[in-house]
C-alpha cells in the first residue's frame, strides 16, 4: 500500500468482495469488508490532505517537525477518530 491510487484500488476490491459476500448471504463479513473499504478511502484522503505520498512509509520522518502529533491519530482503525 504505497500511494493513494493503490489504497483506492484496494478499497474498490474490498467493495467488490463485500458485494459477493452479501449476495451469498455472508452479511457480517460483507459489512466488515465494506467498512474496511471506507477506512481505506479515509486514509487515502488523509494522504491527499497532508500531501503524503506513502501513508505507510514511516521512515521518511523529515517531512513534519512534530510528525507523531500529526500522523499518529490517523494510524488507527477507529472511524470516529479518523473523522475528527
Range of the domain at 31: 4-83
CA gap 46, 81 in Å, rounded: 12
pTM tops 0.75: no
Q: How many domains does the chain have?
A: 1
CA gap 10, 3 in Å, rounded: 11
Could you read off the pLDDT of 6-36 as tens digits, one per residue? 999 999 999 999 999 999 999 999 999 999 9
Amino acid at each position: 500500500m504505497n500511494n493513494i491510487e493503490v489504497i483506492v484500488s484496494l478499497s474498490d476490491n474490498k467493495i467488490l468482495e463485500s458485494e459477493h459476500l452479501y449476495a451469498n448471504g455472508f452479511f457480517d463479513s460483507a459489512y466488515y469488508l465494506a467498512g474496511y473499504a471506507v477506512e481505506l478511502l479515509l486514509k487515502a484522503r488523509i494522504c491527499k490532505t497532508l500531501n503524503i505520498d506513502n501513508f505507510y512509509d514511516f521512515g521518511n520522518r523529515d517531512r513534519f517537525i512534530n510528525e507523531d502529533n500529526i500522523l499518529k491519530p490517523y494510524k488507527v482503525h477507529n472511524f470516529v477518530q479518523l473523522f475528527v
